Amino acid sequence: MKPNPLKAALTQNRQTYGSWVTLAHPLIPEILAPAGFDWLAVDMEHSSIDLSSLLPLIISIEANNMVPLVRVGENSPNLIKRVMDAGAYGVIVPNVNTPREAEDAVNAVKYPPGGARGVGLYRAQQYGRGFEEYKTWLEQESVVIVQIEHIYAVRNIDAILETPGIDAFIVGPYDLSGSLGKPGVFDDPEVDQALKQVMDASKRHNVPAGFHSVPADPEAARKKRAEGFRLLALSLDSIFLGDAACNALSRLKEEL
């Protein structure tokens, strides 16, 4: 597998930009590629994408010179193993609320002795021909990103970020606000305080912070960048498509 530029960027705490893929067609990454995203995350948690449709997406992302990440639907060793065997450069693991769950995520990605992942010979290992090279790549280049999306995770944030093998985290703003009984209310003082706690911990432990800025609006994303979020996701494929269509047609109708 190729070197992982996202790993280097996270290690150096450099700014990166990505987006979310929720539509299960390999042309989606190809269409998004000219925008210049550093990485794309295939969403297996909140979409109908399954393992059979995942592989063409990973191949397309990589072929278009972006880093393929996968947000798995759960912190499952079997699912994470299969996603990595398919050639993902790293995973985003949802609902990590404790250091034990963070450790489980790392163990599912890494081979022993750094983890507990079972060994198979599929695409990532070049169907057996590149197993030794993949072992080295996995240790040096793979990334494990945990999602902080519950107030329980905020309370455990220091212990989570101290877990060896965690490369970054990404805030799930909707679920985090929902765990406080205020789904989608991002300007609430309690939600704002939770985000501040998370960012303070990011600086203490030198673990890059990520955020999914859902609107296809660069101004909203700029605010998060200014707050220090280095792993910054801008919107998702379906919103880009829907917004462009709605805006274009509404402007056309205004001319009548």
Q: Nearest CA to 37 among 221, 242, 188?
A: 221
Identify whether 205 is a catalytic site residue: no
Specify the pLDDT at position 186.
85
Could you say which of 46, 150, 205, 212 is catalytic? 46
Q: Cβ(11)–Cβ(150) under 8 Å?
A: no
Report pLDDT digits (tens) over 173-184: 889 999 999 998
DSSP, res 178: H
- How many Cα atoms sit within 13 Å of 232 on the Cβ side? 23
* pTM beyond 0.75: yes
Q: What's the pLDDT score for residue 173?
A: 85
* pLDDT (0 to 100) of residue 43: 98
Domain that holds residue 113: 5-254
Per DSSP, the three-state class of 181 is coil
- The position carrying tokens 């450790």 is 103
Q: Measured at the alpha carbon of residue 90, what is the angle toward residues 87 and 93, in degrees to the nearest 5?
A: 125
- Give pLDDT tens digits for 154-168: 999 999 999 999 999
Mean pLDDT by 10 residues, the chain (256 residues): 95 97 98 98 97 97 98 98 98 98 98 97 97 97 97 97 98 92 90 94 97 94 96 98 96 85
CATH number, domain at 223?
3.20.20.60
If one counts the domains in the chain, the total is 1
